[in-house]
Amino acid sequence: MIRFGTSGWRAVMGGEFTFHNVRIVVQAIADHLRAKFAGRPISLLVNYDTRFLSERYAAEAAKVLSHNRIHVFLSERDAPSQAQAHQIRKRGAQGGINFTASFNPPEYNGLKYTTETGAPAMPDETRALEEKIDRLQKSYRFTPRYVGQEYIEKIDLRSDYLAYLQTKVDFDAIRKSGLRAGVDLLYGTSREYLDEILEENRIPVEEIHGFVDPYFGGIAPSCTEENLAELKRLVVEKKCDLGIATDADGDRFGIVDDEGRVVIQNIALALLLHYLVAVKGWRGGVGRSVATTHLIDRIARAYGLPVIKTAVGFKYLADLWLRDEIIFGGEESASFAVRGHLPEKDGILAGLLLAEMIAVTGRSLAEAIADLFKTYGERVGGQKSLSLTPARERQLRRLIKLPPTRLAGRPVVGIETIDGIKFDFDEDDWLLLRLSGTEPLIRCYAEAGSRKDVRALIKAGLEKLP
């Protein structure tokens, strides 16, 4: 059964993720679009990342769509997800398909479906797609020869996105500050994007892993502390003011401070929000997922800004963005969006805005974090995962129906069931248990004022799921 999770359909290549299944999913999207835009010309943008076979999957998808007489804008090379979103909006396309498994290990691939807004599809639309996929799986037959490939048009996503990004960041301030940046492109789609825009603006940049390797150097292309070990060394050795990394499809970020320490994504999000509201004077709603730091809430409260909480999955923040309800949206998994940009995650923009923050404030990242904690209090987060079993899933559902009033010896002051179950305690401490949307796991998150309290909360949470 092919299902769309938190961010599209992902699976192991050669297992569930096969050319046959890709053709079925793409045909379902074609059928869906013909019904959704009945009587209107349809165009779709097809993009891909640097994974093994991604380019071939994209070419096959383009042929299936062209066979359905849908005009295809096919990216001429791998490109970040946000560059695709920009192009969909610019060209007025009816949606997009992106072959990427984001930060999953190299053996995975995936398909993300984007709507005509440039945002990820919401669950009601992906459920409709799943129903069509289920029906097609019973009857679909491969067409060995495609006709009508004249509907395929190759396009460049890079130049338009970089020109657009140029208007979103104060590169003059960064250049005048003398800032030096280190970038780790993690063999992904941000090469000749993140490094290129810094070089174009005459900002000194040191770069690593700026070439294609479908095995991602033997790691999962995610911005974890372990995976950024080389970037940490680079920042220290080359005396950079910060390090910026992006994942395989460029939409998530990793940050290293001037002392070679990885900045936890939640802290980076809090820094970005504080910079936008305290220094740039932005005002409006603030969106965050239930798994994201409550530092966001503390900053918002200080400036009288409403906080809107969502389930995990950037699509929910994108929906708020499209309805103009938020100026900032963030998820603990390094997902970030701001008003006036795009309804899609942008790891490149996040890193560049942190560089702008350093340049404008004259404070290093280490100093900015110290100031943040001094003003709003230090928060410590933690996460552990359990393999998903039927017994644990049943127990999680029981917890949601009959939650305890005390955990880890502390009274529960609030319960949230937007996504799994979240226990709120005093002092902005919390514990969250939820099903992963991308892997067969149960995620356990916690945040408190000390590491000891975080460990106690996670222990109490895991004991509820033996």
User: In the chain, count of helices (H) and strands (E)?
Assistant: 15, 22
| C-alpha distances out from residue 25 to 18, 31, 137, 277, Å | 11, 10, 9, 42
**Cross-sheet strand order for the sheet of 253-256:** 205-208, 181-184, 242-246, 253-256, 262-263
What lies within 8 Å, CB to CB, of 338 at 6+ separation is 276, 327, 328, 329, 349, 353
The whole-angstrom separation of Cα 211 and Cα 401 is: 50
* CATH (residue range 168-376): 3.40.120.10
**pTM confidence score:** 0.94
Q: Which pair of tokens denotes residue 346?
A: 């942008």
3-state secondary structure of 97: strand
Query: Could you list the pLDDT tens digit for every one of the 466 residues in the chain?
Result: 899 987 899 999 999 999 999 999 999 999 999 999 998 999 999 999 999 999 999 999 999 999 899 999 999 999 999 999 999 999 999 999 999 999 999 999 999 999 999 999 999 999 999 999 999 998 887 665 666 678 999 999 999 999 999 999 999 999 999 999 999 999 999 999 999 999 999 999 999 999 999 999 999 999 999 999 999 999 999 999 999 999 999 999 999 999 999 999 999 999 999 999 999 999 999 999 999 999 999 999 999 999 999 999 999 999 999 999 999 999 999 999 999 999 999 999 999 999 999 999 999 999 999 999 999 999 999 999 999 999 999 999 999 999 999 999 999 999 999 999 999 999 999 999 999 877 789 999 999 999 999 999 999 999 999 8
Residue 148: the pLDDT is 62
Q: Is the domain defined by 380-463 classed in CATH 3.30.310.50?
A: yes
The whole-angstrom separation of Cα 160 and Cα 171 is: 17
- Whose tokens are 């009587």? That residue is 39
The whole-angstrom separation of Cα 352 and Cα 242 is: 10
9-157 and 168-376, same CATH topology: yes
Domain range annotation of the chain: 9-157, 168-376, 380-463
Q: Which pair of tokens denotes residue 389?
A: 């079993």
Query: Phi/psi of residue 441, each to 5°?
Result: -135, 155
Q: Chain centroid to CA 188: how far?
A: 14
What lies within 8 Å, CB to CB, of 170 at 6+ separation is 356, 359, 360
Q: Class of 9-157 per CATH?
A: alpha beta
Residue 145: the pLDDT is 63
Torsion of CA 408, 410, 411, 414, to 10 degrees: -70
Question: CA 93, 308, 294, 417 torsion: positive or negative?
Answer: negative
